[in-house]
């Protein structure tokens, strides 16, 4: 089966001042097309770090992150932005919504970024949020 996501010897080292922290250390991973995969591990194991690399939110310190045959670890900021907009869907651990926009306005933003975006009203109806459309995030 073709691999849709492949990580080869990936490391991620965070530097804070003088200190270095190796969050990922030589990770190899292969995910086949069409598979539903769960990444499980204790807090601090590096799950978000790993997902940030696959999602194009961050780049590895070394190693390759290959998505659909393309090594995204070599992408510049511009290519990564386009990759995030067009190729991946990402649900953040700490949801990144804009507090000064309503629920509907937050969802409508997607139309500025992607082609063929879902209708915002339809998208909100699908998750049972129609009645909350005009509320602000802190009112939910």
Choose the contact partner of 72 out of ligand ATP, Mg ion, none; CB within 5 to 8 A by kind: none
Q: Per CB under 6 A, does 45 bind ligand ATP?
A: yes
Q: Which stretch binds ligand ATP (CB under 6 A): 2-10, 27-35, 36-44, 81-89?
A: 36-44
Burial class of residue 60 in the structure, from the number of CB atoms within 10 Å of its CB (0-12 exposed, 13-18 middle, 19+ buried)? buried
Count helices and strands (H / E) in the chain. Answer: 4, 4
**Separation of first and last alpha carbons in the chain:** 43
Q: Per CB under 6 A, does 76 bind ligand ATP?
A: no
- In the sheet that holds 3-16, the strands lie side by side as 19-32, 3-16, 62-67, 70-71
Q: Per CB under 6 A, does 43 bind ligand ATP?
A: yes
Residue-wise burial string across 65-88, b where 16 or more C-beta atoms lie within 10 A, e elsewhere: bbbeeeebbebeeeebeebbeeee
Q: Per CB under 6 A, does 139 bind ligand ATP?
A: no
Which one of residues 17, 34, 41, 128 is an interface residue with ligand ATP (CB under 6 A)? Answer: 41
- Interface with ligand ATP (CB under 6 A), residue total 13
Binding mask 77-116 for ligand ATP (x = CB under 6 A): ----------------x-----------------------
Q: Per CB under 6 A, does 14 bind ligand ATP?
A: yes
Question: In angstroms, what CA-CA distances link 62 with 27, 76, 90, 136?
Answer: 10, 15, 23, 41
In the complex, the residues that contact ligand ATP under the rule CB under 6 A are 14, 16, 21, 23, 41, 43-49, 93
């Amino acid at each position: 089966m073709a691999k849709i996501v492949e990580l080869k010897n990936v490391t991620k080292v965070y530097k804070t001042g003088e200190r270095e922290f190796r969050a990922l250390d030589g990770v190899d991973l292969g995910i086949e097309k069409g598979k539903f995969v769960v990444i499980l591990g204790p807090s601090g194991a590096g799950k978000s770090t790993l997902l940030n690399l696959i999602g194009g939110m961050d780049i590895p310190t070394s190693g390759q992150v290959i998505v659909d045959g393309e090594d995204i670890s070599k992408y510049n900021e511009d290519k990564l932005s386009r990759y995030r907009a067009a190729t991946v869907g990402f649900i953040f651990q700490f949801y990144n919504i804009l507090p000064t926009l309503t629920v509907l306005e937050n969802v409508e933003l997607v139309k500025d970024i992607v082609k063929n975006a879902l209708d915002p009203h339809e998208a909100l109806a699908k998750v049972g949020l129609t009645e909350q459309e005009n509320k602000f995030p802190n009112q939910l």
